[in-house]
Amino acid sequence: MRVETIPAVVPLAHKDDLFEMFHTATARTRALLEMQSPAQLAAIRAAVGHAVEARYAGVPYQGAQRSTSWLRAVVGTDDAPRLDGRPSGRRDGRAPFQVPAPCVVASAMKPLSV
């Protein structure tokens, strides 16, 4: 059996896009969020947005933190509104936030029968 972690990032146009991803595109987290009161949901959204802004602004490049990345944002561009209807983040569609999202790949082979 072999397991490998592949580094990856999720480029975001707005600090609230990570919350939106979990609120609209996941099964278990979406269900959990749907059980919250409007006040609790607003507090969760604010906390996630604050964490994205504080920890993932820009992208690390050659030992320095750049303000933006060449990566296009996952949600929204100039021509398309965000999932929640608000305008997208940057006019050029570039992503000011990069959230690490490593992928884990596992593979195995059945032994040959003798």
Q: What pLDDT does 76 receive?
A: 41
Model confidence at 79, pLDDT cuts 50, 70, 90, reads: very low
Q: What pLDDT does 7 receive?
A: 85
Give the span between the Cα atoms of 86 and 31, in whole angstroms.
23
Q: Quote the domain boundaries for residue 8.
A: 2-107
The torsion of the CA quartet 91, 94, 100, 102, rounded to 10 degrees, works out to 130
Residue at 112 is within a domain: no
Per residue in 3-61, pLDDT tens? 999 988 888 888 899 999 999 988 899 999 999 999 999 999 999 999 998 888 876 66
Residue at 84 is within a domain: yes
Over the Cα atoms of the chain, what is R_g? Answer: 18
Residue at 19 is within a domain: yes
Give 59's DSSP letter. E
